[in-house]
């Protein structure tokens, strides 16, 4: 089998690594890939903002299976375009991906189907914001409707700052492009949980649970990022709670999407807040999480290609996933300055030594190959990922491997998974 993966980050490196392990796979192609992915796949260039560019790659390669990594191509309709050419694709259609690409759509969908989520108002004008905001108690969450690479959510501690943020989204001063609609939302308190499920449009199969660390600073301080580290253990989600989430959130979402004529095939990532009144949806993503995927795929013992094909073919009910017991953890090394501006092109050393740590994989998020040298090429640079019998072991390995790696301005959080270890979770 030849498998084509679209994307350029750590998630796609983990996907390429897992796909390559399948005995059925003879060739992995990644477009555009990065310096680390080039070690497990043949990388070809493609513009992830341009469906025609991706379509050209797929038609030239004629893969047996195509996997879409990031949200942008999904929101542009890459799956629809590839399927129209008769290709087999893992990922949701443009309409189904609206669960991620429009927060207003997702909120209204959840309301229609009684899926638990924070109270909200969708506003299309500044006047509507000024009126609706009176109904919310601070803190108030203001969200851009569209994709914003993690920058579209603003937590506001007063009505005045919330109104300013909403106005800033409408007039384009906050994100560059002007938003047509925004969401005001009740602030939820609790632990976050990344609950990723596979779906073939009908059946839902949960992956191992994970917790992301979104803030840049130790102790969950500072601005939000794409994710600075993840851990996954069996004990972080009791079986009864998993059943509740499946029964009240994941399965009803997939069932209702099918009923509405937009079946959801791919990864339904439920970003949950475990509130005192139960789990509530913070957001849906229509793809694998990054860096959740790095930690979760390292624990997957089943053949990923078999599983993704079952999704594409509508046979997910036949699949039972096998997981490594214990735990995994992924620690992100980022460039100095991230999530603000940062420099790239710094040589990375120690990757060979780090790779020798037992049960550890160094997935590349933002790297490039310059001759024989791997250099930094993004805000998030590496995801050092390890498994272990316990979270302690997994973290020890990941941090041991991280200590071998160097590049100018390297930054990583040293407290990934610590709240779980100290029992404060
Ligand atoms: P989102 O892109 O919607 O996942 O939001 C990014 C992050 O903002 C989430 O992971 C939460 O940490 C935070 N967030 C989003 N919505 C809320 C909310 N209603 N209450 C509290 N925190 C939120
Ligand atoms: N790690 C969060 C996300 O993938 O959206």
| CB-ligand 2 contact for 227 (6 Å cutoff) | yes
The helix/strand count (H/E) of the chain reads as 15, 22
pLDDT score for 132: 93
Q: Are strands 191-200 and 182-186 parallel, antiparallel or unpaired?
A: unpaired
Q: Which residues contact 158 (CB under 8 A, 6 or more apart)?
A: 138, 140
CA–centroid distance, residue 213 to ligand 2 (Å): 10
Query: CA 144, CA 120: separation in Å to the nearest integer?
Result: 13
| CB-ligand 1 contact for 292 (6 Å cutoff) | no
Question: Which among 75, 285, 287 is the best mutation to test ligand 2's pocket, defined by most ligand atoms within 8 Å of the CB?
Answer: 285
Which ligand lies nearest the alpha carbon of 280? 1
| CB-ligand 2 contact for 225 (6 Å cutoff) | no
pLDDT score for 11: 98
Query: CA 295, CA 331: separation in Å to the nearest integer?
Result: 9
pLDDT score for 424: 52
Q: Which atom of ligand 2 lies nearest, measured to the CA of 150?
A: 5
pTM: 0.96
Question: Which among 99, 141, 153, 162 is the best mutation to test ligand 1's pocket, defined by most ligand atoms within 8 Å of the CB?
Answer: 153
| CB-ligand 2 contact for 10 (6 Å cutoff) | no
Which ligand lies nearest the alpha carbon of 195? 2
All structural domains of the chain: 2-93 (3.40.50.20), 119-186 (3.30.1490.20)
Please report, in tens digits, the pLDDT of each residue of the chain (425 residues total): 999 999 999 999 999 999 999 999 999 999 999 999 999 999 999 999 999 999 999 999 999 999 999 999 999 999 999 999 999 999 999 999 999 999 999 999 999 999 999 999 999 998 899 999 999 999 999 999 989 877 789 899 999 999 999 998 888 788 777 778 999 999 999 999 999 999 999 999 999 999 999 999 999 999 889 899 999 998 999 999 999 999 999 999 999 999 999 999 999 999 999 999 999 999 999 999 999 999 999 999 999 999 999 999 999 999 999 999 999 999 999 999 999 999 999 999 999 999 999 999 999 999 999 999 999 999 999 999 999 999 999 999 999 999 999 999 999 999 999 988 886 54
Structure tokens at 321: 């996933």
């Amino acid at each position: 089998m030849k498998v084509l993966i679209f994307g350029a980050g750590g998630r796609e490196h983990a996907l390429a690594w897992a796909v390559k392990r399948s005995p059925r796979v003879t060739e992995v192609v990644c477009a555009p890939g990065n310096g680390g992915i080039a070690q497990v796949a043949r990388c070809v260039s493609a513009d992830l903002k341009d469906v025609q560019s991706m379509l050209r790659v797929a038609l030239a390669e004629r893969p047996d299976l195509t996997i879409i990594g990031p949200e942008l191509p999904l929101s542009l309709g890459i799956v629809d375009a590839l399927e129209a050419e008769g290709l087999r694709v893992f990922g949701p259609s443009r309409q189904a991906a609206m669960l991620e690409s429009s927060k207003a759509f997702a909120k209204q969908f959840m309301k229609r189907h009684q899926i638990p989520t924070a109270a909200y108002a969708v506003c299309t004008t500044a006047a509507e914001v000024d009126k609706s905001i009176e109904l919310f108690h601070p803190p108030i969450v203001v969200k851009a409707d569209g994709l914003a690479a993690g920058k579209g959510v603003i937590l506001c501690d007063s009505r005045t700052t919330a109104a300013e943020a909403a106005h800033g989204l409408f007039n384009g001063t906050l994100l560059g492009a002007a938003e047509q609609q925004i969401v005001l939302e009740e602030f939820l308190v609790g632990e976050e949980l990344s609950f990723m499920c596979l779906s073939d449009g009908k059946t839902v199969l949960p992956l191992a649970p994970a917790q992301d660390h979104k803030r840049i600073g130790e102790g969950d301080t500072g601005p939000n990022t794409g994710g600075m580290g993840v851990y996954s253990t069996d004990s972080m989600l009791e079986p009864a709670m998993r059943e509740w989430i499946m029964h009240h959130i994941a399965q009803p979402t997939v069932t209702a999407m099918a009923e509405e004529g937009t079946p959801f095939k791919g990864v339904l990532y439920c970003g949950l807040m475990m509130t005192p009144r139960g789990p509530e949806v913070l957001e849906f993503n229509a793809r694998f999480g990054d860096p959740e995927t790095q930690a979760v795929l390292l624990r997957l013992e089943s053949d990923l290609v078999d599983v993704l094909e079952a999704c594409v073919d509508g046979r997910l009910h036949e699949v039972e996933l096998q997981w490594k017991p214990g735990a995994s953890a992924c620690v992100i090394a980022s460039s100095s300055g991230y999530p603000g501006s940062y420099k790239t092109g710094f040589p990375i050393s120690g990757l060979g030594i780090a790779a020798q740590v037992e049960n550890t994989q160094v997935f590349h998020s933002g790297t490039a190959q310059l001759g024989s040298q791997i250099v930094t090429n993004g805000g998030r640079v590496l995801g050092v990922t390890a498994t272990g019998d316990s979270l302690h072991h997994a973290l020890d390995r990941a941090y041991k491997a991280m200590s071998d790696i160097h590049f100018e301005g390297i930054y990583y959080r040293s407290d990934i998974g610590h709240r779980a270890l100290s029992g404060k979770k």
